[in-house]
A = this chain, B = another copy of it.
Amino acid sequence: MDAVTLWNRYQDWLYYHEGLGLFLDISRVNFDDYFVEQMRPKFEKAFQAMAALEAGAIANPDENRMVGHYWLRNPDIAPSPEIRQAITSTLEHIKAFARDVHAGTIKPPLAERFTDILSIGIGGSALGPQFVAEALAPVHPPLHIHFIDNTDPAGIDRVLAELGDRLYSTLVINISKSGGTPEPRNGMLEVKRAYEQKGLQFANYAIAITTEGSKLDQLAKSEGWLAVFPMFDWVGGRTSEMSAVGLLPAALQGIDIDALLVGAKDMDEATRVPDLRRNPAALLALCWYFTGNGRGEKDMVVLPYKDSLLLFSRYLQQLVMESLGKEKDLDGNIVHQGIAVYGNKGTTDQHAYVQQLRDGVPNFFLTFIEVLEDRQGESIEVEPGVTSGDYLSGLMQGTRQALFEKQRPSITVTIPQVNPRTVGALIALYDRAVGFYASLVNINAYHQPGVEAGKKAAAEILDLQRKVVSVLREAGQPLSLADLADKVGAPTQIEVIYKVVRHLSANDRGVTIIGNLGQPATLAIAATR
């Protein structure tokens, strides 16, 4: 394509949202008009499905749930007055709570004010808040946020050690939809214990965000925690940033949550337009479909050229992969759909792996996120007439160009600056693009049937572990792995048992292993207490 044709293509397909100052450039994805025409009926269907979803259809039949994260940004479109009321009253509660914490009206017993937040949650309960904190929290926020987003004991210890005596003024947000997910439950128990070891009553520091009536809800209420905020069953974890899960920590950090909501609402409106060319989310979905042949044949590499957006790719990794990575389509055919997502930030990633992107296996398309504002305030010149920000911008353009020369397609999203409104808009843009793409490839974006198998297997392994310990204690003598497996009634599970005892032994948990660990069949296992 010569330069003039390309410039015309650029202008022809350029999407611009004046209110948000947001651009979407898809000129470097090589679809042609014939492809677009072919896709029109699929988009008609996608627009209709989205309208039905927004009107309250049961879009997650596995859990018999509506899918209503769009209502959070605009309660007026919620399908019932009760839902509308629940959204607005929760928002008011969040703002009042944050105000009272900032004012010191809600305060810890032994300090003037809360200074820190410890957020305990995983998956959708962590990625949104982490992304938004990194993107938008001021350098000196009213409360500093910390995260426990795993069940790693050393990781938990590290966060607690970093907090140190600030635990006295730390507000703990416990996030769990069901209250039964092990990771946040474990984190909560470990943190509660840390408070108790300091002689502090956890209830005076703890709040919960959970479904009404859940185990966590019951615990919080029975122990008299500071507050409980609701999670709605019609909001999925990966789209929960605009619910209490995301808004409460944001408000506590002094982030303008109204602007976040407005940005998302503006984008929701823009992506409701049932016209491919005027709908940025539809254009994104079109490009994803084209590059990957509607089968996820290309990975999505996301490179924001702005440090504060570093976690956007990790946020999208969940949103896209958990939504689109499905075995079956809506008709029950085995399709193994999905799009793999990765990326950190530019220009940094140029120095890490643009070598492969330009020269190596062409199994990806790129999404550049460009931010027009370099910084607040003036810049020095690092060369005559050139600033650090010009380099950032020039290296982005240069990379896009160098990749396109080698037939590596790219999409560019441009925002004027990183602020609550544009971040809200980015979240909403991708929410919707994922919804459209799912419709194009005929899958359900709103369930996650594949995650249960690993959890179930883990529960069985933990059961086996209890039996192993009990058998070893009763045995009173060392056993081979094969004997041990027989005695716990799991003769085919020798490998699992080997790993369980290896782990227990490494942690002085009452199990010892005699022999060469590299030769499992020769080992003898015994209880040590």
Stretch of A66-74, A165-173, A391-399 that contacts chain B: A391-399
Whether B389 and A458, one on each chain, are in contact in the complex, defined by CB atoms closer than 8 angstroms, is no
Query: Which listed residue, B190, B308, B398, touches A158 by the CB 8 Å rule?
Result: B308
* B-contact 0/1 string along A434-458, CB 8 Å cutoff: 0000000000000011110111111
For the complex, give the distance between the alpha carbons of A384 and B465 in Å. 11
Interface of chain A residues 350 through 376 with chain B (CB within 8 A)? 350-364, 372-376
Q: Are A3 and B454 in contact (CB under 8 A)?
A: no
Q: Which of A310-331 contact B (CB under 8 A)?
A: 314, 317-318, 321-322, 324-327
Chain A to chain B contacts (Cβ below 8 Å), 28 pairs? A10-B495, A11-B521, A18-B517, A123-B348, A151-B389, A151-B391, A182-B382, A182-B395, A185-B382, A190-B388, A314-B344, A317-B352, A318-B352, A318-B353, A321-B353, A326-B359, A342-B342, A354-B454, A355-B448, A355-B450, A358-B454, A372-B506, A386-B465, A386-B466, A389-B503, A397-B499, A401-B457, A402-B453
Question: In the assembled complex, how far is the CB of residue A25 from the closest CB belonging to chain B, in whole angstroms?
Answer: 9
* Residue interface bits A1-17, CB-to-B below 8 A is 1, else 0: 01110110011001110
User: Which of the listed residues A157, A373, A398, A521 has the most CB atoms from chain B within 10 Å of its own CB?
Assistant: A398
Given that A373-B506, A382-B189 are known contacts, is A395 also in contact with B465, CB under 8 Å in the complex?
no
Tell me if A388 and B358 are in contact (CB < 8 A).
no
In the complex, A360 Cα to B324 Cα: how many Å?
Answer: 8
Residue of B whose beta carbon sits closest to that of A373: B506
A320 to chain B, nearest CB (A): 8
Checking B21, B352, B377, B451 against A358 with a beta-carbon cut-off of 8 angstroms, the contacting residue is B451
Closest Cβ of chain B: how far from A62's Cβ, in Å?
12
Which residues of A490-529 are within 8 A (CB) of B? 492-496, 499-500, 502-503, 506-507, 509, 516-521
Task: List chain B residues, Cβ under 8 A from A339.
Answer: 361
Q: Is the beta-carbon distance between B306 and A392 smaller than 8 angstroms?
A: no
Verify if A487 is at the interface (C-beta below 8 Å from B): no
Interface check A161, CB cutoff 8 A: yes
Residues of chain B with a CB closer than 8 A to A499's CB: 393, 397
- A233 CB to closest chain B CB (Å) equals 18
- A118 CB to nearest chain B CB (Å): 15
How far, in whole Å, are A124 and B353 apart by their CA atoms in the complex? 11
Measured CB to CB, the nearest residue on chain B to A127 is B352
A111 contacts partner chain B, Cβ-Cβ < 8 Å:
no
Interface membership of chain A positions 405-439, coded 1 if the CB is closer than 8 angstroms to chain B and 0 otherwise? 10000000000101000000000000000000000
Q: What are the residues of chain B within 8 A of A353 when measuring CB–CB? A: 317-318, 321-322, 325, 341
Closest 7 A-B residue pairs measured CB to CB?
A325-B356, A16-B518, A338-B360, A123-B351, A325-B360, A155-B307, A398-B458
Q: Is the CB of A356 within 8 A of B324?
A: yes
**A58 close to B (CB within 8 Å):** no
Residues from chain B with a CB closer than 8 A to the CB of A390 are: 462, 465, 503
Docked-complex contact B518 and A363, CB < 8 angstroms = no
CA distance A359 to B336 in the complex (A): 6
What separation, in Å, do the CA atoms of A466 and B386 have in the docked complex? 8
Residue of B nearest to A154 (CB): B375
Q: At the interface, yes or no: A60 with Cβ under 8 Å from chain B?
A: no
Query: Is A262 an interface residue when CB atoms closer than 8 A count as contact?
Result: no
Report yes or no: A348 in contact with B126, Cβ–Cβ below 8 A.
yes
* Complex contact B465–A355 (CB within 8 A): no
Which residues of chain A in 229-263 are interfacial with respect to chain B, using CB atoms and an 8 Å cutoff? 237
Cβ B493 vs Cβ A347 within 8 A? no
CB of A139 to closest CB in B, whole Å: 4
Q: Are A453 and B364 in contact (CB under 8 A)?
A: no
| Chain B residues whose CB sits within 8 angstroms of the CB of A386 once the complex forms | 462, 465-466
**A380 interface residue, CB < 8 Å from B?**
yes
Q: Residue among A151, A187, A326, A380 with the most chain B CB within 10 A?
A: A151
Does A321 contact B149, Cβ atoms closer than 8 Å?
Answer: no
Whether A392 touches B350, Cβ cut-off 8 Å, given contacts A23-B518, A339-B361, is no
Which chain B residues lie closer than 8 Å to A509 at the CB level? 387
* A154 touching B351, Cβ below 8 Å: no
Q: Please name all residues of chain B whose beta carbon is closer than 8 Å to the beta carbon of A326 when the two chains form the complex.
A: 355-356, 359-360
Which residues of chain B are near A162, meaning CB under 8 Å?
139
A152 at interface by CB-CB < 8 Å: yes
Contacts of A324 in B (CB 8 A): 356, 360
